[in-house]
Amino acid sequence: MRRIILLGGLKMELSKELHEKVLEAIEAAKATGKIKKGVNEVTKAIEKQQAKLVIVAKDVSPKEIVMHIPLLSKEKEIPCVEVNSKEELGAAAGLELGTSAVAIVQEGEAKKNIKEIVDNLK
């Protein structure tokens, strides 16, 4: 399975290690910081420039539901990463169901992971 990173409208392959760091960052931010879950909350966090990192599920159907998120993230200069599934994203966010998008708003103990993720995107 390929994992894709979206940053500045460019697509790049995301290594398995970096993919795991993204999920770990969500879990750490949920426990010690603050995250927003779902397309509407994530969109608001991006528009208000509160998001530090945005994560979108690849398997969202129809794609139109989340198509605006990478573009809005690019406009606001917020890193945006794509992971394989809603279930994986939901589990990392502490949900029983999947979620289409997550935004890390306050890093908490995930600050180091987020910095490493963003540095690897450059």
Would you state the pLDDT for residue 34? 96
Domain that holds residue 56: 4-121
pTM, full prediction: 0.88
Report pLDDT for 13: 57
**Domain tally, the chain:** 1
Give me the CATH number covering residue 91: 3.30.1330.30
Question: Tell me, what amino acid is at 80?
Answer: C
* Tens-place pLDDT, residues 57-102: 999 999 999 999 999 999 999 999 999 899 999 999 999 999 999 9
Q: 11-14: which pairs have CB atoms within 8 A and are 24 or more residues apart?
A: 12/121, 14/81, 14/82
Q: Which pairing describes strands 10-13 and 4-7: parallel, antiparallel, or unpaired? A: antiparallel
